[in-house]
Structure 1
Protein backbone atom coordinates (compact mmCIF):
# COMPACT_ATOMS: atom_id res chain seq x y z
CA UNK A 1 0.00 0.00 0.00
CA UNK A 2 1.72 3.14 -1.21
CA UNK A 3 0.07 6.41 -0.17
CA UNK A 4 2.22 9.07 -1.78
CA UNK A 5 -0.68 11.44 -2.41
CA UNK A 6 -1.97 13.77 0.25
CA UNK A 7 0.03 12.32 3.15
CA UNK A 8 3.35 13.17 1.46
CA UNK A 9 2.09 16.75 1.03
CA UNK A 10 1.30 17.15 4.74
CA UNK A 11 3.91 19.08 6.73
CA UNK A 12 3.71 19.55 10.48
CA UNK A 13 5.32 22.70 11.86
CA UNK A 14 6.12 23.00 15.56
CA UNK A 15 7.30 26.32 16.95
CA UNK A 16 8.84 26.14 20.39
CA UNK A 17 9.79 28.56 23.11
CA UNK A 18 8.26 31.57 21.42
CA UNK A 19 5.51 34.05 22.16
CA UNK A 20 1.97 33.75 20.83
CA UNK A 21 2.71 36.85 18.73
CA UNK A 22 5.74 35.23 17.07
CA UNK A 23 3.90 31.94 16.49
CA UNK A 24 1.04 33.87 14.88
CA UNK A 25 3.46 35.80 12.64
CA UNK A 26 4.99 32.57 11.30
CA UNK A 27 1.70 30.69 10.92
CA UNK A 28 0.01 33.70 9.28
CA UNK A 29 2.74 33.72 6.63
CA UNK A 30 2.31 29.98 6.04
CA UNK A 31 -1.49 30.31 5.80
CA UNK A 32 -1.12 32.79 2.93
CA UNK A 33 0.44 30.12 0.77
CA UNK A 34 -0.85 26.81 2.07
CA UNK A 35 -4.18 25.63 3.44
CA UNK A 36 -4.21 24.32 6.97
CA UNK A 37 -4.73 20.61 7.24
CA UNK A 38 -5.37 20.90 10.97
CA UNK A 39 -6.25 23.75 13.32
CA UNK A 40 -3.58 25.46 15.40
CA UNK A 41 -2.80 23.80 18.70
CA UNK A 42 -0.87 25.05 21.71
CA UNK A 43 0.79 22.33 23.75
CA UNK A 44 2.14 22.80 27.29
CA UNK A 45 3.09 25.92 29.19
CA UNK A 46 -0.36 27.49 28.92
CA UNK A 47 -1.43 26.51 32.44
CA UNK A 48 1.49 28.13 34.26
CA UNK A 49 3.13 24.76 34.88
CA UNK A 50 6.46 26.14 33.71
CA UNK A 51 6.67 23.73 30.80
CA UNK A 52 7.74 24.90 27.38
CA UNK A 53 5.01 26.04 25.02
CA UNK A 54 4.90 24.41 21.60
CA UNK A 55 2.67 25.82 18.85
CA UNK A 56 1.81 23.30 16.14
CA UNK A 57 -0.07 23.29 12.84
CA UNK A 58 -0.18 20.96 9.87
CA UNK A 59 -0.24 22.36 6.34
CA UNK A 60 -1.12 20.88 2.95
CA UNK A 61 1.78 21.69 0.64
CA UNK A 62 0.19 20.16 -2.47
CA UNK A 63 -0.89 23.63 -3.65
CA UNK A 64 1.84 26.01 -4.78
CA UNK A 65 2.61 28.64 -2.18
CA UNK A 66 2.93 32.22 -3.33
CA UNK A 67 5.64 34.47 -1.96
CA UNK A 68 4.54 36.97 0.65
CA UNK A 69 5.60 40.56 -0.07
CA UNK A 70 8.03 41.62 2.69
CA UNK A 71 5.74 44.50 3.74
CA UNK A 72 2.91 42.07 4.46
CA UNK A 73 4.92 39.74 6.67
CA UNK A 74 4.80 39.81 10.44
CA UNK A 75 7.86 40.79 12.42
CA UNK A 76 9.36 38.44 14.98
CA UNK A 77 10.31 39.77 18.39
CA UNK A 78 13.18 37.26 18.54
CA UNK A 79 14.40 34.21 16.58
CA UNK A 80 11.98 31.28 16.57
CA UNK A 81 12.85 27.56 16.57
CA UNK A 82 10.82 25.52 14.10
CA UNK A 83 10.69 21.76 13.76
CA UNK A 84 9.29 20.73 10.38
CA UNK A 85 8.27 17.16 9.57
CA UNK A 86 6.88 15.68 6.36
CA UNK A 87 7.75 14.28 2.96
CA UNK A 88 11.08 15.32 1.46
CA UNK A 89 9.68 17.53 -1.30
CA UNK A 90 6.97 19.06 0.91
CA UNK A 91 9.47 20.03 3.63
CA UNK A 92 11.77 21.57 1.01
CA UNK A 93 8.88 23.58 -0.47
CA UNK A 94 7.78 24.84 2.94
CA UNK A 95 11.34 25.83 3.84
CA UNK A 96 11.74 27.74 0.57
CA UNK A 97 8.44 29.49 1.20
CA UNK A 98 9.52 30.54 4.70
CA UNK A 99 12.80 31.81 3.23
CA UNK A 100 10.83 34.20 0.99
CA UNK A 101 9.88 36.11 4.16
CA UNK A 102 12.26 35.22 6.99
CA UNK A 103 15.97 34.57 7.37
CA UNK A 104 16.08 30.76 7.66
CA UNK A 105 18.99 28.69 8.87
CA UNK A 106 19.06 24.93 9.24
CA UNK A 107 20.35 23.55 12.48
CA UNK A 108 19.84 19.83 12.03
CA UNK A 109 17.92 17.16 10.18
CA UNK A 110 16.90 13.53 10.49
CA UNK A 111 16.10 11.53 7.38
CA UNK A 112 13.79 8.53 7.10
CA UNK A 113 12.47 6.38 4.29
CA UNK A 114 9.65 8.70 3.28
CA UNK A 115 9.90 11.65 5.65
CA UNK A 116 12.41 14.03 7.05
CA UNK A 117 12.53 16.17 10.16
CA UNK A 118 14.32 19.50 9.93
CA UNK A 119 15.12 21.92 12.75
CA UNK A 120 15.16 25.53 11.54
CA UNK A 121 15.84 28.90 13.12
CA UNK A 122 13.64 31.71 11.78
CA UNK A 123 14.53 35.37 12.21
CA UNK A 124 13.68 38.71 10.65
CA UNK A 125 15.66 39.39 7.51
CA UNK A 126 18.76 41.35 8.47
CA UNK A 127 18.87 39.77 11.96
CA UNK A 128 21.43 37.11 12.81
CA UNK A 129 19.49 33.89 13.53
Structure 2
Protein backbone atom coordinates (compact mmCIF):
# COMPACT_ATOMS: atom_id res chain seq x y z
CA UNK A 1 0.00 0.00 0.00
CA UNK A 2 1.38 3.36 -1.01
CA UNK A 3 1.52 6.08 1.63
CA UNK A 4 0.44 9.68 1.19
CA UNK A 5 3.53 11.91 1.35
CA UNK A 6 1.96 14.51 3.66
CA UNK A 7 0.30 12.19 6.17
CA UNK A 8 1.12 8.88 7.74
CA UNK A 9 -1.79 6.86 6.33
CA UNK A 10 -2.43 4.66 3.31
CA UNK A 11 -3.14 6.67 0.15
CA UNK A 12 -6.02 4.34 -0.72
CA UNK A 13 -7.96 5.92 2.17
CA UNK A 14 -7.91 9.35 0.50
CA UNK A 15 -11.05 10.61 -1.19
CA UNK A 16 -10.95 13.71 -3.35
CA UNK A 17 -14.16 15.72 -3.02
CA UNK A 18 -14.94 18.16 -5.83
CA UNK A 19 -17.88 20.55 -5.49
CA UNK A 20 -19.39 22.49 -8.36
CA UNK A 21 -22.50 24.52 -9.13
CA UNK A 22 -22.18 26.29 -5.77
CA UNK A 23 -20.77 29.42 -4.18
CA UNK A 24 -18.12 29.85 -1.52
CA UNK A 25 -20.53 29.60 1.45
CA UNK A 26 -22.05 26.30 0.30
CA UNK A 27 -18.59 24.86 -0.44
CA UNK A 28 -17.41 25.93 2.99
CA UNK A 29 -20.50 24.36 4.63
CA UNK A 30 -19.87 21.00 2.95
CA UNK A 31 -16.12 20.97 3.63
CA UNK A 32 -16.43 22.15 7.25
CA UNK A 33 -19.02 19.42 7.85
CA UNK A 34 -16.71 16.79 6.33
CA UNK A 35 -13.85 18.22 8.47
CA UNK A 36 -15.89 17.28 11.55
CA UNK A 37 -16.25 13.70 10.27
CA UNK A 38 -12.87 12.95 8.62
CA UNK A 39 -9.31 14.30 8.78
CA UNK A 40 -8.48 16.61 5.89
CA UNK A 41 -5.35 15.90 3.89
CA UNK A 42 -4.91 19.35 2.36
CA UNK A 43 -5.71 23.06 2.70
CA UNK A 44 -8.53 24.44 4.91
CA UNK A 45 -12.03 25.27 3.69
CA UNK A 46 -12.58 28.37 1.54
CA UNK A 47 -12.35 31.57 3.58
CA UNK A 48 -14.82 34.45 3.73
CA UNK A 49 -15.83 35.91 0.42
CA UNK A 50 -13.96 39.03 -0.64
CA UNK A 51 -15.33 41.57 -3.10
CA UNK A 52 -12.40 41.22 -5.53
CA UNK A 53 -12.34 37.40 -5.53
CA UNK A 54 -13.64 35.43 -8.49
CA UNK A 55 -15.53 32.25 -7.61
CA UNK A 56 -13.81 29.10 -8.82
CA UNK A 57 -15.71 26.68 -11.03
CA UNK A 58 -14.81 23.71 -8.82
CA UNK A 59 -13.93 23.57 -5.11
CA UNK A 60 -11.70 20.65 -4.12
CA UNK A 61 -10.41 19.01 -0.93
CA UNK A 62 -9.08 15.59 0.03
CA UNK A 63 -10.16 13.67 3.12
CA UNK A 64 -8.75 10.58 4.85
CA UNK A 65 -11.68 8.18 5.09
CA UNK A 66 -9.81 6.05 7.65
CA UNK A 67 -9.46 8.97 10.10
CA UNK A 68 -13.04 9.09 11.36
CA UNK A 69 -13.62 11.67 14.09
CA UNK A 70 -15.93 11.02 17.02
CA UNK A 71 -19.33 12.63 17.14
CA UNK A 72 -21.58 13.55 14.26
CA UNK A 73 -22.12 17.16 13.20
CA UNK A 74 -25.61 18.45 12.66
CA UNK A 75 -26.87 18.80 9.11
CA UNK A 76 -25.68 22.07 7.55
CA UNK A 77 -27.85 24.40 5.51
CA UNK A 78 -27.14 24.84 1.81
CA UNK A 79 -28.59 27.62 -0.31
CA UNK A 80 -28.78 25.38 -3.39
CA UNK A 81 -28.11 21.85 -4.59
CA UNK A 82 -24.37 21.13 -4.70
CA UNK A 83 -22.94 18.80 -7.34
CA UNK A 84 -20.32 16.57 -5.74
CA UNK A 85 -17.77 14.24 -7.31
CA UNK A 86 -16.04 11.74 -5.01
CA UNK A 87 -12.91 10.02 -6.34
CA UNK A 88 -10.81 7.36 -4.65
CA UNK A 89 -10.61 3.72 -3.64
CA UNK A 90 -13.96 1.89 -3.82
CA UNK A 91 -14.26 1.39 -0.05
CA UNK A 92 -13.03 4.91 0.78
CA UNK A 93 -15.57 6.51 -1.58
CA UNK A 94 -18.36 4.34 -0.10
CA UNK A 95 -17.37 5.47 3.42
CA UNK A 96 -17.53 9.18 2.51
CA UNK A 97 -20.75 8.67 0.54
CA UNK A 98 -22.41 7.04 3.59
CA UNK A 99 -21.28 9.93 5.80
CA UNK A 100 -22.69 12.48 3.35
CA UNK A 101 -25.96 10.52 3.29
CA UNK A 102 -26.30 11.00 7.03
CA UNK A 103 -25.80 14.76 6.75
CA UNK A 104 -27.49 15.79 3.50
CA UNK A 105 -30.27 14.67 1.22
CA UNK A 106 -28.25 12.81 -1.41
CA UNK A 107 -29.32 11.96 -4.93
CA UNK A 108 -26.96 9.78 -6.95
CA UNK A 109 -26.18 11.03 -10.44
CA UNK A 110 -24.18 7.93 -11.39
CA UNK A 111 -20.85 6.35 -10.73
CA UNK A 112 -17.93 4.91 -12.68
CA UNK A 113 -15.82 2.10 -11.30
CA UNK A 114 -12.35 1.20 -12.43
CA UNK A 115 -10.10 -1.57 -11.22
CA UNK A 116 -8.63 0.46 -8.35
CA UNK A 117 -10.73 3.62 -8.22
CA UNK A 118 -14.32 4.76 -8.18
CA UNK A 119 -15.99 8.06 -9.07
CA UNK A 120 -19.40 8.82 -7.60
CA UNK A 121 -21.38 11.88 -8.70
CA UNK A 122 -23.93 13.11 -6.16
CA UNK A 123 -26.29 16.02 -5.70
CA UNK A 124 -26.42 17.30 -2.11
CA UNK A 125 -29.22 19.39 -0.65
CA UNK A 126 -29.98 20.43 2.91
CA UNK A 127 -31.63 17.88 5.12
CA UNK A 128 -34.50 19.54 6.91
CA UNK A 129 -35.09 18.26 10.40
CA UNK A 130 -38.66 18.31 11.69
CA UNK A 131 -39.26 18.58 15.42
Same fold (TM > 0.5)? yes
The match for 1:23 among 27, 32, 38 is 27
Q: CA RMSD in A?
A: 2.3
Tell me, which stretches of 5 or more residues in structure 1 are unaligned?
none
Distance 2:32 2:71 in 1: 13
Q: How many residues align?
A: 118
What is residue 105 of structure 2 aligned with on the other side? 103
CA apart distance, 1:86: 0.4
Confirm or deny: 8 A CA contact 1:67 1:97 kept in the other structure. Answer: no
Change (3 A) 1:67 1:97: farther
TM-score, with normalisation over the residues of structure 1? Answer: 0.80
Confirm or deny: 8 A CA contact 1:78 1:123 kept in the other structure. Answer: yes
What secondary structure sits across from 1:59 in the alignment? strand
Confirm or deny: 8 A CA contact 1:10 1:60 kept in the other structure. Answer: yes
What is residue 74 of structure 1 aligned with on the other side? 76
TM-score, with normalisation over the residues of structure 2? Answer: 0.79
Distance 2:123 2:106 in 1: 6
